[in-house]
Amino acid sequence: MDEHTPTNSLFTLRVLWGAYVAAVFIFNIIARSIVQESSEAAYPLLVQIFIGLSVVELGAVIVMQAKIGNSLPVDTSSIFVTKLLQFALAESVAIYGLVLTFMDGNTQRLIYFSVASIAGLLIAYPRR
C-alpha cells in the first residue's frame, strides 16, 4: 500500500481528531492548574460574543457534516481539508472558554465551552 491509500488517509484523520480532543482536555488541565479565581468578571459583552461565535461555528460544523455525509468516500483526500476545518472550528469553541477563564478565573464556564467543543468534534468524527 502506498502512502496515499484511503486507509492511511482515514488513519491520519483519526489521529488528528484525537489530537484535537486531547487538546481540549489539556486546556482544562492547564486552566485548573494555573488559573486563580479573580474578583474581576469578564466583560459580559465579550462572553455573549464568544457564545454567539461558538453557536455559529458549531452550526458550521453541522452543515459541513451534512454536506459530506456521515460516511467517508473511498478517497478521503477529497474531504481532508473540510475535516480539518471542522476540527479547528470545534476546537476554537474550547479556546473561547479558555480565554474567558484566563480573564476572570471562572473554570466552570470553560467546562461548558469544552463540552460544546467535544460535541462538535464528535459530530465531525471521521467514520467509514
Distance CA 111, CA 89 (A): 17
Alpha carbon distance 57, 43 (integer Å): 21
11-20, 69-78, 86-95, range with the lowest pLDDT:
69-78
| 55-68 per-position pLDDT tens digit | 999 999 999 999 98
In single-letter form, the type of residue at position 116 comes to A
Contact 126, 16 (CB under 8 A): no
Q: pLDDT tens across 81-113, in order?
A: 899 999 999 999 999 999 999 888 888 999 999
On the question of pLDDT at 36 being above 90, the answer is no
Count of beta carbons in the 10 Å neighbourhood of residue 83: 23
Q: Specify whether the CB–CB gap between 101 and 107 falls below 8 A.
A: yes
Is residue 116 over pLDDT 80? yes
pLDDT above 50: residue 1: no
CA 125 vs. chain centroid, Å, equals 11
